Amino acid sequence: MKRIFKVLFAFVSLSIIALITVVTNASSTIASKISVTLYQQENATNNKIRYVATMSNVDNLSEIIDIDINFSLSKAGETTRTAKVTTTKVYTSIANSSEFQESENTYYAIYTITDTNTYPGWSLSAYFTFNYSDSTSENTNSISYTIPQKYTVDTYGSGSFEQSSSINDALLADSIENGNIFHAWNWSMSVIQENLQNIKNAGYTAVQPSLAVFPS
């Protein structure tokens, strides 16, 4: 009887251990292990915002497939604009920053938006999504920032973000009528072609040249 009891006790004990192991493995995802937090920094002139996402408890960087950076630009009475930028670049520390220094199993993802002062009164929101190798994903906290009203702008485009750090470069108009037209009446076609990137960087979405004259 004692022998039967010992064998039964050992079997039950092993079954409990096996059950605990199965439950632990089932709940131990990469998303539950890695901790992520998003921070925002503005410069003194309010024309640049830097987002820094920290990730800790990262045993192996191969666990992270990529990082989606999600943006939303909104204002009452205006169409909300959303965009997503994907990156695979992370850093072990951030220069000239006492907050984000090198630490074991800790990395930083960074993205900067510039020229935000061209959208006074708009609310810029962002959060990062970390996509992991075990098919799980994890969102950081979301941060919203209202761009100060002291700046003025004549017209607004109505487009979406591109993979660019400049808000003027990123927010392109969805049509010529909704954008900004650069009048290049005194420019030749070759000069216009040479300066297309500069015209785009200045926030224009279309170019109006002088009428072309062809020989009869």
Residue 54, pLDDT above cutoff 50:
yes
Higher pLDDT pick, 187 / 167: 187
> Does residue 203 lie within any of the structural domains?
no
Q: Which residue has the higher pLDDT, 51 or 19?
A: 51
Mean pLDDT of 91-106: 88
Per-residue pLDDT, 136: 94
The CA radius of gyration of the chain, in Å to the nearest whole number, is 27
pLDDT score at 1: 54
**Amino acid identity, position 154:** D
Q: Domain limits at 56?
A: 31-157
Is the pLDDT score of 122 beyond 60? yes
The two tokens of residue 56 are 């800790």
Pairwise CA distance, residues 130 & 7, whole Å = 48
Please give the structure tokens belonging to residue 164.
């660019």
With beta carbons less than 8 A apart as the criterion, state whether 125 and 144 touch: yes
In-domain check, residue 6? no
Which span out of 5-9, 63-67, 175-179 was modeled with the highest average pLDDT? Answer: 63-67
User: Given this model, what pLDDT does residue 129 score?
Assistant: 97
d(CA 167, CA 103): 32
CA 41 to chain centre: 14
Q: Is residue 130 part of a domain?
A: yes
The answer to the question of residue 198 being in a domain is: no
Question: Running DSSP on this structure, what letter comes out for residue 166?
Answer: B
pLDDT above 90 (res 64): yes
Domain count, the chain: 1
Q: What is the pLDDT of residue 44?
A: 72
Instruction: Flag whether 164 is in a domain.
Output: no
Helix (H, G, I), strand (E, B) or coil at 8: helix
Report the CATH number that the domain containing residue 133 is assigned in CATH. Answer: 2.60.40.640
| Mean pLDDT estimate for the chain | 75
12 within domain boundaries = no
Inside any domain, residue 108? yes
pLDDT digits (tens, 9 = 90+) for 126-152: 999 999 999 999 999 999 999 887 534
Q: Is residue 90 part of a domain?
A: yes
Judged against a pLDDT cut of 60, whether residue 88 lies above it is answered with: yes
The pLDDT of residue 168 is above 70: no
The whole-number average pLDDT for the span 101-106 is 92
